[in-house]
Amino acid sequence: MSNLLFDRLLAPHQGQDTLFMKTPDGLALTHGAFLDIASQMANALKEAGLKPSDRVAVQVAKSPQALALYAASVQSGIVFLPLNTAYTVNELTYFIQDSGAAMVICDPSMEAELSPIAAHQNAQVMTLDAKGGGSLTNAAQEQSTLFTPISRADDDLAALLYTSGTTGRSKGAMLSQHNLLSNAETLVETWQFTKKDHLIHALPIFHTHGLFVASNISLLAGCSLTFMAKFDLDHIIDALPHATSMMGVPTFYTRLLDDPRLNADLVQNMRLFISGSAPLLAETHIQFEQRTGHKILERYGMTETNMNTSNPYDGDRRAGTVGFPLDGVDIRITDPDTHQPLPQGEIGMIEVKGPNVFSGYWNMPEKTQEEFRDDGFFITGDLGIIDQDGYISIVGRNKDLIIAGGFNIYPKEIELILDQQSGVLESAVIGIPHADFGESVIGVLTLENSASVDLDAMLKTVGESLARFKHPRQLVVVDELPRNSMGKVQKNILRDQFKSLLD
């Protein structure tokens, strides 16, 4: 028995003096030095009594040491549980207790509050701060840089990631060694990463995108990183001339477009810009190509499945679509009510099957059974459509579907029209309670700088492109749309905010 992730991601870099990462403040780590830190951490975790399959809950700021902690967990056979740094103590209590974490690693400022929670289940607490210091680092520095990796079966758990929990209780998605490695291997090939690449890494590492896509790909390909604690426009601008690739969320690209320094000369060394985690507006896609000559490559994934689709590396990257299924991944569109496959060109539920798909939800066998078809397809909860050329587009979440007067209304269709209106920066369409129709359509808008719009005239214009039952009853303007840490608009917050708008 071996350890898939260690063997493929880490072992090839032992003792290597090639650059792995550099940070804007001047820190540089070779592959070998990074693995030395990871091995010392693995020894520290072992000395603390952690065993293979134990869960370690990690809520720490992004740093090279934080990424090394992930690598240490891989070597140790420990199940890595990364947690959003914005979570409150109440939220953390649920994750720590539900996962049965044997250790909690947090910022020193959280130690006093989390220690009693951890003690309740005999879990230990160690600390790691934004600069890489803390009790974990102190313990690790006393350890050897040699660590014998723990053997793991392909289907053994490597990570436990909790869903965002916008509706109901957050669920822990169980991801195996094979889930993570197979997806990384596919993406390296699909996006043609090699050791010659230098990736701008400004994503958080408590999420699939920054941890399992950006980091795993970099380790597998043997390329180097500019590793940033967070998105910083000046740091990104400084890094672009020396990089070959960047992974980001749509906000990264809109902020770059707002900066006059972005032009074709700045990115002449770049070969690939990737966007995900939230829908990329077609307008952003077009504007970015006009300014830089680069077409952003949009893809589609989720916590439970890693990446599912990608626009082609070579070929037409179509704005508003997420491309085709990755090699080895099967996707179908089904009727949400009958569960039967739908003809090409019809909107329905996206279901996915492949080696990337998780094994189920932690301690939720009934929920797991509900979310999988008998033939192994996972019900994503996303609504989508496959066009005549095979490109997949995401229409929205099933829970965001609006049903008014018995008619199904897909918000994306209306949002695309609203986004085209003069002065509109972005829109979010929601359904709010209506006594007669069940729900009514409301459009929530953000405006371009200094834009002045006539909302009544806009309603009339939008109405000319839509069937009457799809017409928004009202448009409202807000300063900004509520988003989660990965840039996804939180429509549940908007529905709650405007639920009494028509009363």
Measured distance CA(397)–CA(488) in Å, rounded: 11
Name the H helices within 56-162: 64-76, 89-99, 111-119, 135-140
DSSP-derived letter for residue 21 is: E
332 CB burial (10 A radius; 0-12, 13-18, 19+): middle
Q: Is the dihedral of CA 164, 165, 169, 173 positive or negative?
A: negative
- DSSP assignments along 440-461, one per residue: EEEEEEEE-TT----HHHHHHH
Own/partner pairs, 370-377, CB within 8 angstroms, 24+ separation: 373/339, 377/330, 377/332, 377/351, 377/352, 377/353
The HSE-up count of residue 411 (CA atoms within 13 Å, CB side) is 27
The residue count of the chain comes to: 503
Taking the model in full, what pTM does it have? 0.86
Q: Give the start-to-end residue ranges of the domains of the chain.
A: 4-168, 231-397, 401-497
- DSSP assignments along 331-393, one per residue: EEEE-TTT-PBPPTT--EEEEEESTTS--EETT-HHHHHHHB-TTS-EEEEEEEEE-TTS-EE
Phi and psi, residue 178, nearest 5° = -70, -40
Looking at the structure, give the CATH architecture of the domain made up of residues 401-497. 2-Layer Sandwich (3.30)
231-397: CATH topology is Rossmann fold (3.40.50)
Q: pLDDT digit of tens for each residue in the chain (503 aa)?
A: 699 999 999 999 999 999 999 999 999 999 999 999 999 999 999 999 999 999 999 999 999 999 999 999 999 999 999 998 888 898 899 999 999 999 999 999 999 999 999 999 999 999 999 999 999 999 999 999 999 999 999 999 999 999 865 445 789 999 999 999 999 999 999 999 999 999 999 999 998 999 999 999 999 999 999 999 999 999 999 999 999 999 998 889 989 999 999 999 999 999 999 999 878 888 889 999 999 999 999 999 999 999 999 999 999 999 989 999 999 999 999 998 899 999 999 999 999 999 999 999 999 999 999 999 999 999 999 999 999 999 999 988 788 888 787 677 878 889 988 999 999 999 999 998 876 677 889 999 999 887 889 999 999 988 888 878 889 999 999 999 998 877 888 998 999 899 888 87
Q: Locate tokens 């199940």: which residue?
A: 79
Q: Which two tokens stand for residue 383?
A: 């609504």
> Identical fold at 4-168 and 401-497?
no
Contacts of 374 (CB under 8 A, 6+ apart): none
CATH number of 4-168: 3.40.640.10, 3.40.50.720, 3.90.660.10, 3.40.50.12780?
A: 3.40.50.12780
CA 415 to chain CA centroid, nearest Å: 22
